[in-house]
Amino acid sequence: MRTARRRLRTAAALAVTGGALALLTSACSTADAVCSGGEYPVLYVGSTGSACVKDGEEPPKGYARYPEGKVPEHVDDTWWTYWNTHTLDEDGKIVEVSE
């Protein structure tokens, strides 16, 4: 009888621990990533458009890398929101986008 209770408690503890671990690891980031793993975001020059480019490749013609430290990582993060109203001009200068 004692052994059965001990097994039941052990199983319950393992279930609770597993559930907590799953919750903690899935709760790390609920925001959608701008790009998939192995990619980085690029900005369409003169526009608020963007795309994702494979790591190690250069941006396509008409696109530029985001300035260092101002790269959006998740949809609706600070830089995602900022780049909805700003862009880079042909000289790489940050400018506001006219509506």
CB atoms within 10 A of CB 97: 12
pLDDT digits (tens, 9 = 90+) for 13-44: 555 555 555 544 454 556 799 999 999 999 99
pLDDT tens readout for residues 41-88: 999 999 999 999 999 999 999 999 999 999 999 999 999 999 999 999
CA distance 96 to 55: 28
Q: How far is CA 81 from CA 22, 72, 77, in A?
A: 30, 8, 6
pLDDT for res 98: 84
The model's pTM is 0.68
Q: Could you give the count of Cα atoms lying within 13 Å of 60 in the half-sphere of its Cβ?
A: 7
Residue that the structure tokens 């795309």 belong to: 51
Q: What pLDDT was estimated at residue 25?
A: 47
Q: Where are the domains of the chain?
A: 1-30, 39-96
Q: Which residue has the higher pLDDT, 46 or 8?
A: 46
